[in-house]
Copies of this chain bind each other. A is one copy, B any other.
């Protein structure tokens, strides 16, 4: 009995280690680009050992992506569910999302793989576990920010403004006007907030037209 307890704990531990070590592999090369042999080699195991912990490659992949997301998006959820004014939460969320994407390239690329997945049912499962919670929160925030806009489209635009900047990161660096400071998440956040400031209804706070004087969104 005590023995089986140890087995379970050990199994859990190895399982978690496999998940954690697989994240960068799948992030870099995607589902088809990584073999069970690759994963086993990265772990210092043989491929056969992986099948003790996971039924097949598909389930291993699903668990890896969900594991990576559960860990990494908790902070953002906290911001979105926070108490500040909608505009404050937006600023913090944009800054947080930019920081996450700048810091953790693996997370960024996993999201890209999810959106490109050619297996429909797999994509649906992942989208539900990975995007739904956060999108629901951004969607309500968008509705609070400016009820005159379409909340769904505004939510997508907010996320897209941050996300695409990093998604295009590796190609952007070869394009005209690139400077290294643009990869600084704080700089991007300021840019995005500057873009959104005048588009969203802040007239009730008397700040709707403040951009002319406010230099924070200017170069």
Q: Which residues of A contact B (CB under 8 A)?
A: 28-30, 32-33, 109, 112-116, 118, 123-124, 127-128, 131-132, 135-136, 139, 148-157, 159-161, 163-165, 167-168, 170-172, 174-179, 182, 188, 191-192, 194-199, 203, 209, 211-212, 217-219
CA of A32 to CA of B151, assembled, Å: 37
Residue of B nearest to A135 (CB): B175
- The list of the 7 closest CB pairs from A to B, nearest first, reads A160-B164, A152-B177, A32-B32, A198-B198, A127-B171, A148-B218, A195-B199
Given A174-B132, A199-B195, decide whether A149 and B218 contact each other with a Cβ distance below 8 A. Answer: yes
What does DSSP make chain A's interface, helix, strand, loop or mixed? helix
Q: State the Cβ distance, A192 to closest chain B Cβ, in Å.
A: 7
Contact residues in B for A174 (Cβ distance below 8 Å): 124, 127-128, 132
CA of A205 to CA of B135, assembled, Å: 37
Contact residues in B for A178 (Cβ distance below 8 Å): 152
CA of A152 to CA of B172, assembled, Å: 9
Known: A157-B195, A160-B163. 6 other contacts (CB 8 A): A30-B118, A123-B171, A139-B176, A152-B178, A152-B179, A160-B161
Within the oligomer, what is the number of copies of this chain?
2
Given A160-B165, A176-B135, decide whether A112 and B112 contact each other with a Cβ distance below 8 A. Answer: yes
Given A30-B32, A132-B175, A161-B160, decide whether A149 and B219 contact each other with a Cβ distance below 8 A. Answer: yes
Contact residues in B for A139 (Cβ distance below 8 Å): 175-177
Contact residues in B for A114 (Cβ distance below 8 Å): 171
Between-chain CB contacts (< 8 Å), 7 pairs: A116-B116, A148-B218, A150-B191, A152-B179, A153-B182, A157-B192, A161-B164
Contact residues in B for A209 (Cβ distance below 8 Å): 209
Contact residues in B for A168 (Cβ distance below 8 Å): 115, 156, 159-160
Q: State the Cβ distance, A77 to closest chain B Cβ, in Å.
A: 15
CA of A159 to CA of B172, assembled, Å: 12
Q: State the Cβ distance, A66 to closest chain B Cβ, in Å.
A: 15
